[in-house]
């Protein structure tokens, strides 16, 4: 009677049948989660196409890659074998629903699940384009229903106070740091920028000295022109006047305390402190200043199409949500003030 082969040999044989060599896994433990070499090659070409052909932002490409790794890791345990392109295209809708259910059980919200499903559908289309077959199961899955939450803008007085350097005058921070943070927040509220767009501005492009416009690089590398009002220019000039570093023309306009590029996390922490000082809710984030920019323009008679251009929205339907915000604010004012409400 022959004895069973050692477990180590059985694992090696199983990996070999799946297209994974043991030395590959030893060198890269993530290789087992990413499946066979054929799947890893398909993953690499897919991520490259997302960046070079579809021109998605680096953060989106990174998120899509993370989504696929989570999916293949789930499949390896769910189906008990290394994941290959043939396995992916042969999946049933039940397999994909099991993954989404597992993610939901981990506390993942509907919006993140929608992004994960979008990433998996994109990868399935890529596998089909490379000749691995049609992965019909992915198109058969209906995404989770999203809650229709409206943006939460700040009152105008609160938004202005957040951009005022004097609001943080009592903090034990260097004066140039307070001026820097005020300049960044002024760009978010005064120009409707995303925090990544503000921190991506080069020193040479700083809108100062009478320059009343700014070219911004937005999502997907798309550029747009935004007007710059005088208070925003003055905030940037005040920051540059006290910044202790000699900023390279092609380097970032905003730098950290050690002179390197400024992290978005620093601005988020500054806003958290301002929330406490001004008694604002948790919804008062850096992005809320961008929401406030759009909502306040609309309330003052701004045209929706113009606001779309200023925000850099690809679709007008994305901008139209601010009409609902404005309508809800008017309704709240009516209910609180009208004698017959």
Active site amino acids? 194, 219, 287, 290, 313, 322
As a whole number of angstroms, the distance between CA 82 and CA 99 comes to: 16
- What is the Cα–Cα distance from 130 to 305, expressed in whole angstroms? 40
Residue with tokens 């929608």: 114
DSSP 113-157: HHHHHHHHHHHHHHHHHTTS---HHHHTPPPPPPP-PPP-PPPHH
Q: Report how far residue 181's alpha carbon sits from residue 162's, in angstroms, rounded to the nearest whole number.
A: 10
What does the alpha-carbon distance between residue 277 and residue 279 come to, in Å, rounded to a whole number? 6
Residues 6+ apart with CB under 8 A from 327: none
Rounded CA-CA distance 145/190 in Å is 34
Could you say which DSSP state residue 217 is in?
E
Residue labelled with tokens 């008062």: 284
Per the DSSP assignment, residues forming a β-bridge with 216 are 224
Distance CA 242, CA 178 (A): 10
Our measurement of the distance from residue 102's CA atom to the centroid of its chain's CA atoms, rounded to an integer in Å, reads 23
């Amino acid at each position: 009677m022959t004895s069973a082969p050692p477990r180590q040999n059985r694992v090696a044989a199983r990996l070999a049948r799946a297209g994974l060599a043991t030395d590959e896994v030893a060198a890269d433990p993530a290789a087992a989660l990413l499946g066979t070499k054929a799947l890893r090659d398909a993953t690499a070409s897919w991520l490259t196409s997302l960046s070079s052909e579809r021109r998605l932002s680096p953060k989106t490409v990174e998120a899509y890659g993370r989504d696929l790794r989570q999916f293949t890791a789930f499949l390896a345990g769910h189906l008990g074998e290394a994941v290959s392109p043939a396995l992916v295209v042969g999946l049933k809708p039940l397999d994909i629903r099991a993954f989404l259910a597992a993610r939901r059980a981990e506390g993942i919200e509907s919006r993140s699940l929608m992004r994960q499903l979008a990433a998996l559908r994109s990868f399935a289309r890529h596998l089909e384009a490379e000749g691995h077959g049609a992965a019909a199961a992915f198109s058969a899955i209906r995404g989770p229903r999203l809650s229709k939450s409206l943006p939460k803008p700040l009152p105008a007085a609160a938004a202005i106070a957040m951009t005022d350097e004097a609001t943080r005058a009592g903090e034990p921070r260097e004066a140039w740091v307070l001026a820097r943070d005020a300049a960044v927040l002024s760009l978010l509220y005064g120009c409707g920028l995303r925090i990544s767009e503000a921190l991506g501005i080069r020193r040479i492009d700083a809108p100062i000295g009478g320059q009343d416009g700014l070219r911004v690089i937005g999502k997907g590398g798309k550029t747009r022109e935004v007007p710059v009002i005088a208070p925003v220019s003055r905030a940037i000039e005040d920051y540059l006047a006290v910044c202790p570093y000699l900023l390279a023309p092609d380097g970032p306009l905003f730098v950290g305390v050690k002179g390197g590029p400024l992290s978005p996390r620093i601005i988020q922490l500054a806003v958290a402190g301002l929330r406490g000082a001004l008694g604002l809710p948790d919804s008062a984030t850096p992005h809320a200043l961008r929401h406030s920019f759009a909502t306040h323009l609309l309330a003052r008679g701004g045209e929706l199409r113009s606001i779309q251009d200023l925000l850099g929205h690809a679709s007008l339907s994305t901008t139209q949500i601010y009409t609902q915000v404005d309508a809800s604010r008017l309704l709240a004012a009516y209910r609180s003030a009208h004698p017959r409400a």
